[in-house]
């Protein structure tokens, strides 16, 4: 079906073993066998992220879990903090606005990270604890935020830290308990190596208590329902069962490698990609790059759209373009999950080949 | 992974060809190839349901699409009509209540259908057109509603008919345009023969116009975003791509059989199942049964939970139990999608065998 290999920052080139797992016959989501599956996936994720109390699984893209995180922790009149340094940070803001919430916005130019001091300064302005929404790995720019420092500050002010870790989880370390993250949001289609269809929220017991107090409307994303069904290792609505099969397999592959080895593998691959693009004379968009993807700026006279087109057509390699006003100006190279130096090498040879002709 | 065959009313025993299709390598959802996939799925569904203007694809269970239908067509203070005759009809009511909407409720005892006159009488009480939410195939009871008559009445009162056809679409005929259905909601995991993960809303142009006027909060389910991306045959958020592969295959299998033949096949299989359960002395819960599933009442002295357990353990056949207060009192036999007389025959032999010992 596909005539190119994905080097996009999600969905990824899913391992064949995972794809085959998703083709297993269906089980019924109200039976013990499903409970075993969900508990297995949950335990595996906890091992990888140093997970907190409860993991809620939603059949949705990561954005669905982001919306659930907002609509289950906020109430009318709340003043959360939204820390934005890219398109996916802006999504937190859009979701809050949808629900009539007017957050305190920390916004840095795309590519720059949020400074921990910016979070602390916003918290100081408030006279009570609040919820802080931010991003681990900003997929639109390749920037990695310093969640560990954010967590320390959040704890100091008795606040709640909610992190979109969708693109980073499994590639960029973010130990939830150790770093005081109250909600960590992930999805199946990135470094956890499965096809898209499942997202999840790993929640601390203190933020789970907040859900009952929140008054924003939600039904499909009502985490109180998910909590009730979680007691039986079930979901309130029919889940994407075969995607969970795949996710379990992807997680098992990570655990077989070893969690630390898996993160180290991503560091090595990311380092290699950065050396290669530096050799091509390309600069990174972010000064604090993630291990999950590498985002390079195009020289002013080159349109990335045509480069990407040519790389795809001549070499069957698909990188991603920039989004919104970064379209045509950057190339986003995904290396989360199922990629190694040799595979990245071939893809970067293709990019080098096409770039050479544009000098 | 599974030690039984599913005869549950969703998920179903998905055909092997469909499962294999879902194991194909991933494509990128911002590329033309994905657009072709989504357009193909959309055209196939339109052919099967006599589809209306636009089909929005959501990565969610059917409930997600039900919530989207409410939150995109209603505004604060609206008085929709909700016609309920089972658990899934009640879901419409729960969703409305979540958003502070107080509908006019038509509620019949579980198993009885909604009478068209009940809809008309509710419409008469209102001084303006409204939205009517109801169910084609009530999976909790096996009842089939007379959507054709509801459509005629809705049109007469210039109202909007929104139908949860999740369990029925592809099994129970419901030609959308011909029957004046403004939104028809379906999902991948029932008679359309794919695994769960995708739901959809087929919407008429007149109800699409209503979306812009509606003021309820929604982000992941904001159909205005879906409409914008639909112009490029894309979705606003990362979709369950491999489930769409499977859905396309399932739909192709239906089109190869022929749409009319597929509906007729379901009629014949349903008829066979009813003869068999009648021979066992079992009565149907509903006097207007669907072609998608058959729901039988247990004699007073028999607990269906133990029957189902034994059928599963001894014969590797899994039927579904009743939900909520019908648990233990009924058996729900799914025959939507990938079932024929021979396959149903073996499953019913298993039920007969277990029932005989309880007389």
Inter-chain CB proximity A318 and B28 less than 8 Å: yes
Burial A81-103 (b: 16+ CB within 10 A, else e): bbbbbbbbbbbbbebbebbebeb
Inter-chain CB proximity B27 and A61 less than 8 Å: no
pLDDT at A119 over 90: yes
Which of these three, A211, A236, A255, is where a domain ends? A255
pLDDT of residue B153: 98
CATH code for the domain in which residue B342 is found: 3.90.1150.10
**Residues B82 and B162: beta-carbon distance below 8 Å:** no
Inter-chain CB proximity B8 and A20 less than 8 Å: no
SS3 content of chain B, % helix, strand, coil (to 5): 45, 15, 40
Distance separating alpha carbons of residues B133 and B120, to the nearest angstrom: 13
Inter-chain CB proximity A6 and B28 less than 8 Å: yes
Inter-chain CB proximity A11 and B26 less than 8 Å: yes
Q: pLDDT of B296-345, one tens digit each? A: 999 999 999 999 999 999 999 999 999 999 999 999 999 999 999 999 99
Contacts of B61 in chain A (CB under 8 A): 59, 220, 237-239
Q: With cut-offs at 50, 70 and 90, classify the pLDDT of residue B160.
A: very high
Contacts of A59 in chain B (CB under 8 A): 59-61, 64, 196-197, 240
Distance separating alpha carbons of residues B316 and B2, to the nearest angstrom: 9
Nearest to A241 among B11, B95, B318 (CB): B11
Does B211 lie in the same domain as B262?
no
Inter-chain CB proximity A33 and B2 less than 8 Å: yes
Mean pLDDT of chain B: 97
The pTM (predicted TM-score) of the whole model is 0.98
Q: With cut-offs at 50, 70 and 90, classify the pLDDT of residue B359.
A: confident
* Distances B148 to A168, A179, A236, B335 between C-alpha atoms, Å: 50, 58, 31, 23
Which of these three, A224, A255, A286, is where a domain ends? A255
Which of these three, A226, A255, A284, is where a domain ends? A255
Does A63 lie in the same domain as A196?
yes
> What ipTM was estimated for this complex?
0.97
Mean pLDDT of chain A: 97
Distance in Å, alpha carbon of A124 to nearest chain B alpha carbon? 30
Nearest to A189 among B8, B221, B238 (CB): B238
Give strand pairing partners of B71: none
Contacts of B3 in chain A (CB under 8 A): 33
Distance in Å, alpha carbon of A135 to nearest chain B alpha carbon? 17
Q: pLDDT of A228-243, one tens digit each? A: 999 999 999 999 999 9
Does A77 lie in the same domain as A186?
yes
Distance separating alpha carbons of residues A12 and A189, to the nearest angstrom: 7
Mean pLDDT of A12-19: 98
Distance separating alpha carbons of residues B74 and B301, to the nearest angstrom: 46
Q: Where are the alpha helices (DSSP H) in A50-157?
A: 62-73, 87-98, 116-125, 147-156
Distance separating alpha carbons of residues B151 and B173, to the nearest angstrom: 14
Inter-chain CB proximity B2 and A26 less than 8 Å: yes
Does B249 lie in the same domain as B284?
no
CATH code for the domain in which residue A37 is found: 3.40.640.10
pLDDT at A103 over 80: yes
Does B95 lie in the same domain as B183?
yes
Percent of chain B with pLDDT over 90: 97
Inter-chain CB proximity B26 and A33 less than 8 Å: no
pLDDT of residue A359: 75
Contacts of A218 in chain B (CB under 8 A): 98
The two beta strands, B54-59 and B198-203, are antiparallel
The two beta strands, A143-144 and A137-138, are antiparallel
> Could you give the 3-state DSSP secondary structure of residue A272?
helix
Mean pLDDT of B149-170: 98
Does A167 lie in the same domain as A47?
yes
Inter-chain CB proximity B62 and A238 less than 8 Å: yes
pLDDT of residue A55: 98
Nearest to A59 among B1, B61, B219 (CB): B61
Does A76 lie in the same domain as A199?
yes
Does A172 lie in the same domain as A67?
yes
Q: Closest chain B residue to A20 measured between Cα atoms?
A: B23
Low-confidence winner among B108-112, B239-243, B307-311 (lowest mean pLDDT) = B108-112
Q: pLDDT of A125-162, one tens digit each? A: 998 999 999 999 999 999 999 999 999 999 999 999 99
Q: Closest chain B residue to A235 measured between Cα atoms?
A: B61
Q: pLDDT of A52-72, one tens digit each? A: 889 999 999 999 999 999 999
Q: With cut-offs at 50, 70 and 90, classify the pLDDT of residue A299.
A: very high
Contacts of A99 in chain B (CB under 8 A): 217
Q: Which residue has the higher pLDDT, A53 or A198?
A: A198
> Could you give the 3-state DSSP secondary structure of residue B183?
strand
pLDDT at B267 over 90: yes
What is the tally of structural domains in chain B? 2
Does A292 lie in the same domain as A194?
no
Percent of chain A with pLDDT over 90: 97
Does A232 lie in the same domain as A272?
no
Q: In the A/B pair of chains, how many CB contacts fall below 8 A?
A: 187
Distance in Å, alpha carbon of B188 to nearest chain A alpha carbon? 10
Q: pLDDT of B20-69, one tens digit each? A: 999 999 999 999 999 999 999 999 999 999 998 899 999 999 999 999 99
Distance separating alpha carbons of residues A122 and A108, to the nearest angstrom: 14
Inter-chain CB proximity B241 and A196 less than 8 Å: yes
Does A248 lie in the same domain as A127?
yes
Q: pLDDT of A151-196, one tens digit each? A: 999 999 999 999 999 999 999 999 999 999 999 999 999 999 999 9
Range of the domain at B283: 5-10+258-356
Percent of chain B with pLDDT over 70: 99
Contacts of A30 in chain B (CB under 8 A): 320-321
Percent of chain A with pLDDT over 70: 99
**Residues B45 and B202: beta-carbon distance below 8 Å:** yes
> Which one, of B103, B95, B64, lies nearest residue B189 by Cα?
B64
Does A221 lie in the same domain as A315?
no
Distance separating alpha carbons of residues B332 and B139, to the nearest angstrom: 8
pLDDT of residue A1: 59
């Amino acid at each position: 079906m596909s005539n190119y290999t994905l080097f996009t920052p999600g969905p990824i080139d899913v391992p064949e073993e995972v794809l085959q797992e998703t083709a297993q016959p269906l089980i019924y989501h109200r039976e013990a066998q499903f409970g075993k599956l969900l508990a297995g996936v949950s335990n595996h994720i906890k091992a990888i992220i140093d997970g907190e109390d409860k993991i809620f699984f939603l059949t949705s893209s990561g954005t669905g879990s982001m919306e659930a995180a907002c609509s289950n922790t906020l109430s009318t009149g709340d003043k959360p903090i939204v820390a934005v340094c890219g398109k996916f940070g802006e999504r937190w803001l859009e979701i809050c606005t949808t629900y009539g919430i007017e957050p305190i916005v920390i916004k840095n130019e795309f590519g720059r990270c949020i400074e921990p001091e910016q979070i602390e300064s916003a918290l100081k302005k408030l006279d009570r604890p609040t919820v802080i929404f931010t991003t681990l790995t900003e997929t639109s720019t390749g920037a990695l935020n310093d969640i560990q420092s954010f967590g320390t500050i959040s704890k100091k002010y008795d606040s709640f830290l909610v992190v979109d870790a969708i693109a980073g989880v499994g590639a960029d370390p973010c130990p939830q308990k150790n770093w005081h993250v109250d909600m960590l949001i992930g999805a199946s289609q990135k470094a956890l190596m499965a096809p898209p269809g499942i997202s999840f929220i790993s929640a601390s017991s203190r933020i789970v208590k907040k859900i009952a107090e929140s008054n924003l409307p939600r039904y499909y994303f009502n985490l109180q329902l998910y909590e009730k069904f979680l007691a039986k290792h079930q979901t309130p609505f029919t889940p994407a069962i075969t995607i969970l099969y795949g996710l379990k397999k992807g997680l098992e592959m990570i655990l077989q490698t070893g969690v630390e080895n898996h993160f180290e593998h991503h560091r090595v691959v990311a380092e290699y990609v950065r050396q290669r693009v530096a050799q091509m004379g390309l600069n990174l968009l972010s000064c604090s790059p993630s291990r999950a993807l590498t985002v390079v700026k195009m020289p002013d006279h080159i349109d990335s759209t045509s480069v990407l087109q040519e790389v795809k057509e001549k070499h069957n390699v698909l990188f991603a373009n920039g989004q919104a006003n970064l379209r045509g100006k950057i190339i986003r190279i995904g290396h989360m999950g199922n990629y190694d130096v040799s595979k990245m090498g071939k893809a970067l040879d293709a990019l080098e080949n096409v770039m050479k002709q544009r000098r």
